[in-house]
Amino acid sequence: MIKAIVNGDTPFVINTEAGVQTCNGEPVEWSGIELPAGNYSIVLDGRSYMAQVLKVDKEAKMVTIIIDQQEYEVAVEEPIDQLLAAMGIKDAMKRKVNDIKAPMPGLILKILVTPGQVIKKGDPVLILEAMKMENVFKATVDAVVKDVRVTEWTAVEKGEVLVILE
């Protein structure tokens, strides 16, 4: 059983057990074929639809699609997600956003972010000089910069928190 939540508020419970396909307890018949460029031809209960996949975020379990010029964001909850939610530990499998700490003593050369800034995984955050080498620190996850705890041209110690993310 898979739960799909469309645009954050419309839930659909999809079940394919015992060879019978249902959506919210009602039997459905559907088929689909993949076309070039991320497009799909779907027949649902005798009606034909063209769908295009715009974005797939496997970590967040989100898919953005367009059907008949209407965009939809679909969050997918697999059985393990539903079990964790029932146990009250829904966020247990989500990746935790960690603050950026100095791995060694050094000198902050350049700060490339500001509080409130939205950063993506891989974006440069700051440059630390250590042992005569410049080290560019990059975001390990998508996050928002909550606070910058250091200033340029200041020395930092190993383990010191440099940037707080949320």
Q: What pLDDT is stored for residue 17 in this prediction?
A: 79
Q: What is the pTM of this model?
A: 0.52
Residue type, 10: T
Nearest one of 113, 111, 75, 110 to 94, comparing CA atoms: 75
Nearest one of 140, 117, 146, 113 to 127, comparing CA atoms: 113
Looking up residue 67, the CATH number of its domain turns out to be: 3.30.700.30
| Domain encompassing residue 151 | 100-165
Q: Do residues 82 and 112 share a domain?
A: no
Q: How far is CA 94 from the centre of its chain?
A: 9
**Domain closes at, from 42, 60, 93:** 93
Q: How far apart are CA 32 and CA 48, in angstroms?
A: 9
Q: Do residues 89 and 106 share a domain?
A: no
Per-residue confidence at 36, pLDDT binned at 50, 70, 90? confident
Cβ-contact 141, 81 below 8 angstroms? no
Q: Do residues 161 and 118 share a domain?
A: yes
- Tokens for 91? 């966020």
Q: What dihedral angle (degrees, nearest 10) is formed by the CA atoms of 22, 28, 31, 34? A: -60
Q: Do residues 9 and 73 share a domain?
A: yes
Q: What pLDDT is stored for residue 121 in this prediction?
A: 87
Per-residue pLDDT tens over the stretch 100-136:
999 999 999 999 999 999 999 889 999 999 988 999 9
Task: Report the domain count for the chain.
Answer: 2
Number of H helices, E strands in the chain: 1, 17
Q: What pLDDT is stored for residue 19 in this prediction?
A: 76
